[in-house]
Amino acid sequence: MVLHNKTVIITGSSRGIGLDIAKYFSREKANIVSNARKDISQDIIQELEKSGSKVLVVLGDVSHFDTAKELIETTKEVFGSVDILINNAGIAKDNLIMRMSEKDFDDVINVNLKGTFNTIHFASKIMLKQRSGVIINVSSVIGLTGNIGQSNYAASKAGVIGLTKSVAKELAPRGITCNAVAPGFIETDMTHGLSNIVIDNTLAHIPLKKLGKTSDVAEAVLFLAK
């Protein structure tokens, strides 16, 4: 297995897309560093370890610079390398632009975009010394199309795409790849909380008239990691 004993950091991996990504990498027997803001259940850890993976849980909000630094440095101390970084942590706080508070705009930008910058900032230093590494950022189709009531989310995910393109050009000469996956609407806890107007507007543009599954994204991420 190409990813056997490779070390992968997955932010926002306690549920949804991030958790499914972790499960796919556990089947490849990669060393998994699972990050989330809140506790990750022992059942999840045991399920990942059942496939033969070593699992390290590092809790913390990567929108904070020092927290992201601790995540990357702890990974390096425990496993000796940072081979793959998957930036999946994300939040949504939807509202029409005229009703959106400054805090809701800032919170979404800080987690979705700044959190991605923070982890790349620290991981890239290790990867440059290794002359190898893979960075995969989870963006969204909303970052390309925009959406009613999601100006903060769209701005953050469009920013992730621009960040990805720039980082890819900077790090490629050292053998490091940086790609983004931009899913459409996926069935997760986040989408369950969306308003009917957002869901209806989205489904109107999907020929199959249904949302995607977390496994669809996990498979794409796994492909890019190899």
Is residue 153 within 8 Å of 146, Cβ to Cβ?
A: no
> Active site includes 24?
no
Q: Token pair 């189709």 is at which residue?
A: 141
pLDDT digits 0-9 by tens, 177-187 = 999 999 988 88
Distance from CA of residue 87 to its chain's centroid?
Answer: 3
What span, in angstroms and rounded, lies between the C-alpha atoms of 64 and 210? 35
For strands 7-11 and 31-36, give the pairing. parallel
pLDDT score at 7: 98
pLDDT digits 0-9 by tens, 102-148 = 999 999 999 999 999 999 999 999 999 999 999 999 999 999 999 88
pLDDT score at 100: 98
Is residue 53 within 8 Å of 25, Cβ to Cβ?
A: yes
pLDDT score at 192: 72
Q: How many CB atoms lie within 10 A of CB 73?
A: 15
Amino acid at 8: V
Give residue limits of the domains in the chain.
7-225
pLDDT score at 199: 78
Q: What is the mean pLDDT of residues 187-198?
A: 74
pLDDT score at 210: 84
Task: Tell me which architecture the domain covering 7-225 has in CATH.
Answer: 3-Layer(aba) Sandwich (3.40)
pLDDT digits 0-9 by tens, 7-64 = 999 999 999 999 999 999 999 999 999 999 988 999 999 999 998 999 999 999 999 9
Catalytic residue among 83, 153, 179, 194: 153
What span, in angstroms and rounded, lies between the C-alpha atoms of 41 and 39? 6
- Is the pTM higher than 0.85? The answer reads yes
What span, in angstroms and rounded, lies between the C-alpha atoms of 120 and 133? 11
pLDDT above 90 for 66: yes
pLDDT above 90 for 211: no
